[in-house]
């Protein structure tokens, strides 16, 4: 099931400089994830990880419409959200490698990166598990009387979780500034959403009276324009919104899911034509907002930064044994 | 240890002549009200907590005092309000999430166990969850299997959570205030049967530390460790034991996590016998952990095995004729104590 997109790519207020910044963020996520995959396949990274490749336009499109003091909650497929909200490459890689210099001192790993300074309330290993937290952050914003906004990222798999509906119901009852961003990448683990989600996706929100839209999640211009409108609406007290961003997980469910027997190579090839990075590149070039050399320079700079960050992470120390029972209690 | 004469009741909670007497429910309300006045980040959310003043009428007046922004009636969405509590706590508030029956805490398990309990650790100490989850325990209200359980063992098992079980109005107020001020998620279990119980509570400000047991009665021959309303069952048993010449010491851990192991072990070392009494199901209950702590710490002083008494391992039945059989009573405690002292 892909909800029909109901928003056109609007012209947004971003100027060329900001579009290049968004492009750099997307390249950063793509390169980070490709490198994480290499670290896994070369046995330099413990555990597994879930790659965000193919979905970059959503995290960057939404986060570029947020302020640093706005909140996000993320998912097990969370590297993109963390980076888009402003996390540093070196501490991200250090966390993936279980090092003390990581965002969580090596205690969280890939699925639990949190960074208070950039408003990241944490990636989450429980599907749909952060919808209550994002909504509680919205409640906190209301009670503290600030004009922040809270964004809850989740995948279409979370549409099966009741907590999401309890949360959206309360957000609408109390007009909380929470944006529910459903990254509909078509699969919950290995199961297509046509076998998991009955009826309409946006209908799940409109039933509560929550403003809902299905949009093209591959086109950052669409994502950003839509996100900006609902975020500013929420900031002014207009209440929550629900965005279904239609997208595709270019890799498997996790780095070890390489055969992908549950879907066809033809389907993957169709979606690859709509790679969000290529779409943005093409638009930047066609609209003459950037020269090819500028984009190539950005790619190179990001590659260098990622390589440096991996070197930092690999050289960093593992936590000492005394760290294991620290931070159980505050 | 207390220096009071054997058999004297040592706790100010039980015996403090001349002091103001209020009910357990009033003590809870006072604690919440005082903390809300003291700290504007404290708020209450739950089903029927505002206009109705909660189903047990414990919060009557709170809405008038603090208004609907801080005393919030929620839909019947236990997991949702627990999640809201976690999110609000991470972002600077001190929520009190009200789950009216302890049985309903099964609906908030993910939010408490996977989210609240782990956020501080998983974030490497950066995020904190200063949240209180208030709920109830205890049978005897003829409410059957889904409104009568004592499920505190489930939460006591989880690193990152704290669990308090006040037995007296004095303890209820002091522990609740500490729970609200604590920077960790604290689950406070209140026995529904205790809300009308009166006891001395000073007018002046006080708090009680989480993790400090209270000697409710001193004695020489056997240590009875009892929690929540089982403290009263234990005290009644101690009176009966005194009449047949057995001097029982009664200790209330007050919190099961953290557990004040030292006080329990010292008492068992002194008396050489220990009996653990709690209203949770006996199997895998908190009595098992406490008995193990005593066996480890006082083994060479013990004259008998440590005994455990809990609720019968059955769903709580409705009929009074059956329900009363499932809950420990003083006579059963006396008989068990006599076998240990025999």
**Kind of pairing, strands B71-73 and B42-46?**
parallel
Answer whether B91 sits within 8 Å of A137, measured CB to CB: yes
Nearest to B62 by CA among B81, B86, B45, B78: B45
With the CA atoms of A308, A313, A315 and A321 taken in that order, what torsion angle do they form, in degrees rounded to the nearest 10? Answer: 170
N residues, chain A: 330
Identify which of A116, A135, A326 has the shortest CB distance to residue B126: A116
Answer whether A330 sits within 8 Å of B125, measured CB to CB: yes
Give the model's pLDDT for residue A9.
52
Answer whether B125 sits within 8 Å of A327, measured CB to CB: yes
Distance between CA atoms of residues A43 and A293, nearest Å: 35
Identify which of B79, B93, B119 has the shortest CB distance to residue A132: B79
| A215 contacts A183 by C-beta, under 8 angstroms | no
* Distance (Å) from the alpha carbon of B174 to chain A's nearest alpha carbon: 20
Q: Where are the domains of chain B?
A: 21-200, 214-341
Answer whether A115 sits within 8 Å of B126, measured CB to CB: yes
- Omega within 30 of 0 (cis) for the link into B258: yes
Distance between CA atoms of residues B171 and B164, nearest Å: 10
* Distance (Å) from the alpha carbon of B277 to chain A's nearest alpha carbon: 28
Identify which of A73, A125, A144 has the shortest CB distance to residue B92: A144
C-alpha triplet A88, A91, A95: angle, nearest 5°: 135
Task: State the pLDDT confidence band at B9, using cuts at 50, 70 and 90.
Answer: low
- Residue A92, both tokens: 């991200």
The architecture CATH gives domain B21-200: 3-Layer(aba) Sandwich (3.40)
List the pLDDT tens digit at each of the 330 positions of chain A. 566 776 655 555 688 899 999 999 999 999 999 999 999 999 999 999 999 999 999 999 999 999 999 999 999 999 999 999 999 999 999 999 999 999 999 999 999 999 999 999 999 999 999 999 999 999 999 999 999 999 999 999 999 999 999 999 999 999 999 999 999 999 999 999 999 999 999 999 999 999 999 999 999 999 999 999 999 999 999 999 999 999 999 999 999 999 999 999 999 999 999 999 999 999 999 999 999 999 999 999 999 999 999 999 999 999 999 999 999 999
The burial of B3, by beta-carbon neighbours within 10 Å (0-12 exposed, 13-18 middle, 19 or more buried), is given as exposed
- B11 vs A232 pLDDT, higher one: A232
Does B239 qualify as catalytic in the annotation? no
ipTM above 0.90, yes or no: yes
Helix-helix angle A16-41:A89-96, to 10 degrees = 20
Chain A residues 77-116 with a CB less than 8 Å from chain B: 102-108, 112, 114-116
Distance between CA atoms of residues A131 and A107, nearest Å: 22
| B203 contacts B20 by C-beta, under 8 angstroms | yes
- In 3-state terms, what secondary structure has residue B86? helix
Q: How are the residues of chain B apportioned to helix, strand and coil, as percentages rounded to the nearest 5?
A: 40, 20, 40
**Kind of pairing, strands B255-257 and B162-164?**
antiparallel
Give the model's pLDDT for residue B209.
98
Chain A residues 161-200 with a CB less than 8 Å from chain B: 162-163, 166-167, 169-170, 173
Answer whether residue B4 shows pLDDT above 50.
Answer: no
Distance between CA atoms of residues A181 and A243, nearest Å: 5
The burial of B49, by beta-carbon neighbours within 10 Å (0-12 exposed, 13-18 middle, 19 or more buried), is given as buried
* Distance (Å) from the alpha carbon of B131 to chain A's nearest alpha carbon: 12
Which residues does chain B have within 8 Å of residue A105's beta carbon, measured at their own beta carbons? 124-125
- In 3-state terms, what secondary structure has residue A173? helix
Looking at the domain that runs over B214-341, which CATH code has it been given?
A: 3.40.50.920
Give the model's pLDDT for residue A327.
98
Identify which of B43, B80, B124 has the shortest CB distance to residue A103: B124
Does B15 qualify as catalytic in the annotation? no
Answer whether residue B158 shows pLDDT above 90.
Answer: yes
Which residues does chain B have within 8 Å of residue A92's beta carbon, measured at their own beta carbons? none
Question: What is the largest distance, in Å, between two alpha-carbon atoms of chain A?
Answer: 56
Instruction: Quick: pLDDT tens for B188-247.
Output: 999 999 999 999 999 999 999 999 999 999 999 999 999 999 999 999 999 999 999 999
Instruction: Quick: pLDDT tens for B105-146.
Output: 999 999 999 999 999 999 999 999 999 999 999 998 899 999
Q: DSSP state, B111?
A: I
Answer whether A105 sits within 8 Å of B128, measured CB to CB: no
Active-site residue, selected from the candidate residues B30, B47, B120, B147: B147
- In 3-state terms, what secondary structure has residue B43? strand
Please tell me the pTM assigned to this model: 0.95
Task: State the pLDDT confidence band at B3, using cuts at 50, 70 and 90.
Answer: very low
Q: For chain B, what is the radius of gyration of the CA atoms?
A: 20
Which residues does chain A have within 8 Å of residue B91's beta carbon, measured at their own beta carbons? 71, 121, 136-137, 140-141
Task: State the pLDDT confidence band at B342, using cuts at 50, 70 and 90.
Answer: confident
| B122 contacts B223 by C-beta, under 8 angstroms | no
Task: State the pLDDT confidence band at B68, using cuts at 50, 70 and 90.
Answer: very high
- Residue B71, both tokens: 């005393």
| A71 contacts A121 by C-beta, under 8 angstroms | yes
Distance between CA atoms of residues B165 and B331, nearest Å: 23
- Residue B139, both tokens: 């049978």
Give the model's pLDDT for residue A19.
95
Q: What structural domains and CATH numbers belong to chain A?
A: 16-312 (3.40.50.970)
For every residue of B122-172, DSSP letters joined together read: HTTT------EEEEEE---SS--TTS----HHHHHTSTT-EEE---SHHHH
Query: What's the count of helices (H) and strands (E) in chain A, helices before strands?
Result: 11, 7
Q: Which residue from B minimizes the CA distance to A319? A: B124
A127 lies within 8 A of chain B by CB: no
- Residue A60, both tokens: 């960057």
Answer whether A167 sits within 8 Å of B69, measured CB to CB: no
């Amino acid at each position: 099931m892909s909800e029909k997109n109901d928003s056109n790519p609007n012209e947004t207020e971003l100027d060329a400089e900001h579009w290049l910044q968004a492009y750099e963020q997307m390249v950063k996520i793509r390169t980070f994830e490709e490198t994480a995959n290499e670290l896994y396949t070369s046995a330099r990274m413990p555990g597994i990880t879930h790659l965000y490749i193919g979905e970059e336009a959503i995290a960057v499109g939404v986060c570029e419409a947020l302020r640093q003091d706005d909140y996000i909650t993320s998912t097990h497929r969370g590297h993109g959200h963390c980076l888009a909200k402003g996390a540093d490459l070196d501490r991200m890689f250090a966390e993936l490698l279980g090092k003390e210099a990581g965002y969580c001192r090596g205690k969280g790993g890939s699925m639990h990166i949190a960074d208070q300074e950039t408003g990241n309330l944490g990636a989450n290993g429980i599907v749909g598990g952060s919808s209550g937290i994002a909504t509680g952050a919205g409640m906190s914003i209301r009670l503290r009387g600030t004009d922040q906004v809270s964004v809850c990222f989740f995948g279409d798999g979370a549409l099966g979780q009741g907590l999401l509906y309890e949360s959206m119901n309360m957000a609408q009852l109390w007009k909380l500034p929470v944006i529910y961003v459903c990254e509909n990448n078509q699969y919950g683990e290995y199961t297509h959403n046509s076998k998991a989600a009955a009826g309409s996706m946006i209908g799940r929100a409109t039933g509560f009276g929550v403003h809902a839209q299905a949009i093209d999640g591959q086109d950052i211009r669409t994502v950003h324009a839509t996100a900006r409108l609902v975020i500013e609406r929420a900031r002014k007290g207009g209440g929550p919104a629900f965005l279904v961003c239609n997208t595709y997980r270019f890799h498997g469910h996790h780095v070890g899911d390489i055969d992908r027997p549950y879907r066809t190579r033809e389907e993957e090839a169709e979606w690859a034509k709509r790679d969000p990075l290529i779409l943005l590149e093409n638009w930047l070039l066609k609209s003459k907002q950037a020269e090819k050399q500028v984009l190539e320079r950005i790619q190179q700079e990001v590659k260098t930064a990622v390589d440096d960050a991996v070197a930092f992470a690999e050289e960093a120390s593992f936590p000492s044994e005394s760290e294991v029972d620290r931070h159980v209690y505050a | 240890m207390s220096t009071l004469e054997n058999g004297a009741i040592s706790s100010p909670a039980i015996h403090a002549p001349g002091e103001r007497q209020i009910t357990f429910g009033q003590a809870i309300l006072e604690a919440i009200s005082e903390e809300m006045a003291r700290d504007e980040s404290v708020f209450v959310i739950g089903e029927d907590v505002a206009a109705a003043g909660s189903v047990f009428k414990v919060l009557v007046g709170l809405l008038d005092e603090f208004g609907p922004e801080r005393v919030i009636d929620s839909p019947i969405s236990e997991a949702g309000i627990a999640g809201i509590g976690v999110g609000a706590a991470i972002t600077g508030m001190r929520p009190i999430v009200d789950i009216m029956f302890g049985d309903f805490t099964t609906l908030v398990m993910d939010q408490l166990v996977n989210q609240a309990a782990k956020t501080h650790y998983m974030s490497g100490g950066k995020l904190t969850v200063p949240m209180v989850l208030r709920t109830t325990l205890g049978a005897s209200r003829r409410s059957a299997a889904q409104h009568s359980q004592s499920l505190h063992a489930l939460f006591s098992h989880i690193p990152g959570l704290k669990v308090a079980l006040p037995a007296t109005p004095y303890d209820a107020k002091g522990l609740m205030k500490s729970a609200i001020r604590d920077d960790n998620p604290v689950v406070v279990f209140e026995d529904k049967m205790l809300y009308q119980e009166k006891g001395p509570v000073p007018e002046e400000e006080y708090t009680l530390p989480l993790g400090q047991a209270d000697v409710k009665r001193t004695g020489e021959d056997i240590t009875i460790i009892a929690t929540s309303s089982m403290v009263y069952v234990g005290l009644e048993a101690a009176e009966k034991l005194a009449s047949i010449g057995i001097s029982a010491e009664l200790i209330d851990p007050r919190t099961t996590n953290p557990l004040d192991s030292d006080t329990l072990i010292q008492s068992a070392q002194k008396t050489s016998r220990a009996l653990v009494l709690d209203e949770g199901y006996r199997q895998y209950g908190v009595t098992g952990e406490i008995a193990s702590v005593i066996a480890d710490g006082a083994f060479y002083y013990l004259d008998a095995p440590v005994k455990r008494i809990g609720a019968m391992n059955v769903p709580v039945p409705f009929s009074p004729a059956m329900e009363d059989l499932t809950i420990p009573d003083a006579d059963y405690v006396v008989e068990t104590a006599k076998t240990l002292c025999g």
